[in-house]
A and B are shown apart, each in its own frame.
Chain A
């Protein structure tokens, strides 16, 4: 009996192959987008971590020479033999064929945790790495090294750009620096009872592990990608929900018949669940593979983005990991379950003698439209409440969910309203029929249009977010990297002389003096700044009072970072007590991204008065010709090249990076819209069968099939336009939630939101194009429907 019932149930799919394809592909696409974005995220994060670790700077304390650039390698052996777990690093540059390459020499045997030459795989000869030598570099760096390679080069995409990694001994040879090291990496865990470093090696300075500011930015980027992945999946689930609901509606009569023939309801529902799980697994597997494809195609861009952004490198190749399979399959099955719940419930509760005639499906009736509208209102009110009173990251995501689902539920009502209004305005008879007919199609198209709504909104939201991120970041770079050169001294005794020399040769000299201090219980960096043109012109405030810099210059006020302000609970005009310096009113708030410490700026005079012994070792230098000044500093003044950082170059590079972000965002935009277009296509194809009886009378009364087909395309575009009209504000709300709510909850800072009407226009255009393209085939099919098929509608024996 079970087998017979199953055969009967499955026969539906044989008869309705299109539905089957829609179900499997809808689910597969949803899973694909989800797992694709996840894959990109995971891979990017893993590789970023590896690359950051390669540089060894973000994770571990370092021992560096107090004076000079190098230390004898005996110090390394001395420390090891004293029990200290340190690992040697030598760094330098060598000339490749087409440019200089930074060479990093490590010891794979002692490097702590995740540090070691990356890419040592089974094919690599460890003996060769340790003894005769191998360089690891990414393809670009390898090309730059070219024929000048002192030892064989192994291309490994996960090595940071511009860096070649090798064994420490090999590096010494290449750099002609036998017997010396640049620094030592200090493992986090040390043996018990080791002699303090100050006693053992007073000539070395221990630099604490750097607070990884870039990590926070990367995390923000990943969080946003994850949100995007979820949105994409939601789009896919709308398709699946629609398909399942339709298939179940159409099988109502079959279910009734089977039950009448004695198949227990429990068996039937069980069979249907089994059938769905099977489909979900099938489609999930397909989706994971598709997602892998998407990720593999997009990954070079992601890699480029992260690499450029943070100097972190992302492996260009991708492995299909077990956890993606698992999460992909899980989300496919759960998504299907979620989408099928309502349909199964209806089947389970359907009275045996209920009308077997398929009702117009899902949200067809006015009743359910009203119910949807009520749900929408409730969800949107909840969203509003969360926006006002909610706190925490979870609430941020709840807000997103309420907003999105609420808006989606609102869509059918909104469409009915707009189309109804248009119908009233229409004058021609065909026009009136068109609008009336369009209105009638709304229930059938709702789910697909909801998918389009979410896709477009997600795209608008993400593009706003990424663009705002970019504008803000560039501004931030402008203000923080305003000095063209950045000069660092090793010896405090040189400070005064260098400052005099710089003042004579540069436009503006900005000594950088800071101490770590707790202000209002917030761990912070206190800076003494020389208020001049640079601060006045380049620093942008999130909020400020009149004459802010003048008041700071006079020692009457302080400027604080946003993180500090939020954590200390102060805003402009509030007073803060800065240790022994006394009480300062807050004159302005500046943005400071990815810094866990608060920042407080007071005037140089106020700072020096309190910390007279603090000699500035770092100077920001403004110059109209930084390259020339750099040469003078090296050749005339005698600074080492490593002491000067050309920030103009850093800035240019960073700005270029964000352009790459758009490539990914653009690609993901196209993909989500493709999924939505698929939803529309499937809806139209499914509707086509229902459409014939609706269109046949109109045709019989004198409209050609061609014009009917044309009107079908116009109808899809019209519905898509109305949907887009709702999608743009929704997308902006989405961006607002991501920037002002989720980001604050996750990272403690708010990103200002910028609007990009041009983008939205293009995105809307894409959405309409997607809808139009999706409608093209069904319309073409309609235009080619043989008259006999149309006539069958009227046939007596129907």
Chain B
């Protein structure tokens, strides 16, 4: 029965994760709409924006153990509002849900949580920073120093995060355009976390270190009617440069692309539609879908011409609204690691 509820949630306007993007409304229904040139206000903007429909705190980490074996970790908290307001108690229209995953080359462990706001089961506070749902949390004294925990039936993790660089803004100073029609979101990232901590896997605990990338994004009408899904890359090159790029696939076969180049010192360059290119090289059948798990990625302006390969092609997020998300290895003009997220593959 919960599945039916989730079908509803999935169809709810504003749930970007849905494969059924085409079902998402583009009307704002009283919700606020991102405006170009709006100034960010921290730490308040690290917290929730209940007058926007959808928002997330989206952390991915590329880790390795003492033997150099690679691991991926995901921790995502979503907020989806039924109405642009908050209330005390059960009647709060703010719904929270979260996904956590650990990926190794041969395992992909997933858990998911649901909660509603208003009763203390889930939420985000800014002073001190804390984002939580049930016992999963991302808490700090502040946004630069966080402790990240989550657990499912067969895994758990407890990681410390320390930011070694600044928060960076995508698009036009954090105003990220998502389609030719002008749909947009507020979008900034903290791609400079150093990570150390423990993964608890079915075979036992593993000490790991590595880097994490946290995305913050909120909007009320993120996609246009004809966009069917997206392919999102966050790549950290061995040179210290980083790149975020995404394709928003249209039902007519074309795609809208966008990218941000992040120099080692945190200065960014935003690239408009068409500059960033990504083509599937290889597909993999998982969960009765066919998903590209090896990509040719190019950003000619920065001489980037790389092959991006999934660490574990079976990194399927078998949650209520399923998608593919997992760590990737980079080869070619640049070496490095990163994360790939793909939605809307049916």
Judge whether B53 is part of the interface by a CB distance below 8 angstroms.
Answer: no
Judge whether B9 is part of the interface by a CB distance below 8 angstroms.
Answer: yes
Stretch of B110-118, B277-285, B289-297 on the interface side = B110-118
Judge whether A81 is part of the interface by a CB distance below 8 angstroms.
Answer: yes
Could you say which residues of chain B place their CB within 8 Å of the CB of A111?
1-2
- Whether A192 lies near B151 (C-beta < 8 A) is yes
**Interface hub of B8, B83, B89, B95 (most chain A Cβ within 10 A):** B8
- Of all chain A residues, the one with the shortest Cβ separation from B114 is A109
- Whether A77 lies near B120 (C-beta < 8 A) is yes
- Residue-wise, chain B 1-29 has the 8 Å CB interface mask toward A (1 for contact) of 11011001101100000000000000000
Q: Which of A77, A80, A126, A168 is B5 in contact with, Cβ under 8 Å? A: A126
- Of all chain A residues, the one with the shortest Cβ separation from B8 is A126
Could you say which residues of chain A place their CB within 8 Å of the CB of B82?
126-127, 130-131
- Of all chain B residues, the one with the shortest Cβ separation from A79 is B134
Judge whether A485 is part of the interface by a CB distance below 8 angstroms.
Answer: no
User: For the complex, what is the distance from the CA of A124 to the CA of B11, rounded to whole Å?
Assistant: 12
B83 to chain A, nearest CB (A): 6
A108 to chain B, nearest CB (A): 5
- Whether A120 lies near B119 (C-beta < 8 A) is no
Judge whether A116 is part of the interface by a CB distance below 8 angstroms.
Answer: yes
Judge whether A500 is part of the interface by a CB distance below 8 angstroms.
Answer: no
Could you say which residues of chain B place their CB within 8 Å of the CB of A76?
119, 121
- Whether A116 lies near B2 (C-beta < 8 A) is yes
- Whether B114 lies near A110 (C-beta < 8 A) is yes
- Residue-wise, chain A 115-131 has the 8 Å CB interface mask toward B (1 for contact) of 11110111010110011
A188 to chain B, nearest CB (A): 10
A81/B121 contact (C-beta < 8 A), A121-B4, A191-B153, A192-B156 known: yes
B182 to chain A, nearest CB (A): 27
User: For the complex, what is the distance from the CA of A127 to the CA of B11, rounded to whole Å?
Assistant: 12
Could you say which residues of chain A place their CB within 8 Å of the CB of B11?
122
Could you say which residues of chain B place their CB within 8 Å of the CB of A122?
8, 11
Judge whether B132 is part of the interface by a CB distance below 8 angstroms.
Answer: yes
- Of all chain B residues, the one with the shortest Cβ separation from A126 is B8
- Whether A193 lies near B115 (C-beta < 8 A) is no
- Whether B114 lies near A116 (C-beta < 8 A) is no
Interface size on B, residues (CB 8 A): 34
**Interface hub of B83, B134, B152 (most chain A Cβ within 10 A):** B134
Judge whether B172 is part of the interface by a CB distance below 8 angstroms.
Answer: no
A126/B151 contact (C-beta < 8 A), A77-B120, A83-B135 known: no
- Whether B135 lies near A193 (C-beta < 8 A) is no
A115/B90 contact (C-beta < 8 A), A77-B119, A190-B153 known: no
Q: Which of A109, A113, A120, A190 is B115 in contact with, Cβ under 8 Å? A: A109
Judge whether A189 is part of the interface by a CB distance below 8 angstroms.
Answer: yes
B271 to chain A, nearest CB (A): 38
Could you say which residues of chain B place their CB within 8 Å of the CB of A81?
120-121, 132, 134-135
Could you say which residues of chain A place their CB within 8 Å of the CB of B4?
116, 120-121
Judge whether B192 is part of the interface by a CB distance below 8 angstroms.
Answer: no
- Whether A169 lies near B134 (C-beta < 8 A) is no
Judge whether A172 is part of the interface by a CB distance below 8 angstroms.
Answer: yes
Tell me what chain A mostly uses at the interface: helix, strand, loop, or mixed: loop
B89 to chain A, nearest CB (A): 6
Judge whether B126 is part of the interface by a CB distance below 8 angstroms.
Answer: no
- Whether B1 lies near A126 (C-beta < 8 A) is no
- Whether A130 lies near B132 (C-beta < 8 A) is no
- Residue-wise, chain A 587-604 has the 8 Å CB interface mask toward B (1 for contact) of 000000000000000000
B155-171 contacts to A (CB < 8 Å):
155-156
Judge whether B200 is part of the interface by a CB distance below 8 angstroms.
Answer: yes
A130/B121 contact (C-beta < 8 A), A113-B2, A191-B111 known: no
- Whether A80 lies near B2 (C-beta < 8 A) is no
Q: Which of A80, A83, A107, A118 is B151 in contact with, Cβ under 8 Å? A: A83
A120/B5 contact (C-beta < 8 A), A190-B153, A192-B200 known: yes
Could you say which residues of chain B place their CB within 8 Å of the CB of A131?
82-83, 87, 91-93
Could you say which residues of chain B place their CB within 8 Å of the CB of A170?
90
**Interface hub of A85, A169, A191 (most chain B Cβ within 10 A):** A191
B159 to chain A, nearest CB (A): 16
Q: Which of B2, B12, B119, B152 is A191 in contact with, Cβ under 8 Å? A: B152
Could you say which residues of chain B place their CB within 8 Å of the CB of A112?
2
- Whether B156 lies near A116 (C-beta < 8 A) is no
Judge whether A632 is part of the interface by a CB distance below 8 angstroms.
Answer: no
B95 to chain A, nearest CB (A): 7
- Whether B151 lies near A109 (C-beta < 8 A) is no
- Whether B1 lies near A109 (C-beta < 8 A) is no
- Whether A109 lies near B89 (C-beta < 8 A) is no
Could you say which residues of chain A place their CB within 8 Å of the CB of B134?
80-81, 83, 85
B97-146 contacts to A (CB < 8 Å):
111, 114-116, 119-121, 132, 134-135
Could you say which residues of chain A place their CB within 8 Å of the CB of B93?
127, 130-131
- Whether A109 lies near B5 (C-beta < 8 A) is yes
Could you say which residues of chain B place their CB within 8 Å of the CB of A712?
none
Judge whether B238 is part of the interface by a CB distance below 8 angstroms.
Answer: no
> Can you give 28 contacting A-B residue pairs, CB < 8 Å?
A80-B115, A81-B120, A81-B121, A83-B151, A108-B2, A108-B5, A109-B5, A109-B115, A111-B1, A114-B1, A116-B5, A120-B4, A120-B8, A121-B4, A126-B12, A127-B83, A130-B91, A130-B93, A131-B93, A132-B91, A169-B89, A170-B90, A172-B90, A190-B153, A192-B153, A192-B154, A193-B151, A193-B156
For the complex of A and B, list the 8 residue pairs with the smallest distance between their C-beta atoms, beginning with the closest.
A169-B90, A83-B135, A127-B82, A116-B1, A109-B114, A191-B151, A80-B134, A108-B5
Task: Add 12 more A-B contacts to A76-B121, A81-B135 (CB < 8 A).
Answer: A77-B120, A107-B116, A109-B116, A115-B2, A116-B2, A122-B8, A126-B12, A131-B87, A131-B91, A131-B92, A132-B91, A169-B90
Chain B residues proximal to chain A, CB less than 8 Å: 1-2, 4-5, 8-9, 11-12, 82-83, 87, 89-93, 95, 111, 114-116, 119-121, 132, 134-135, 151-156, 200
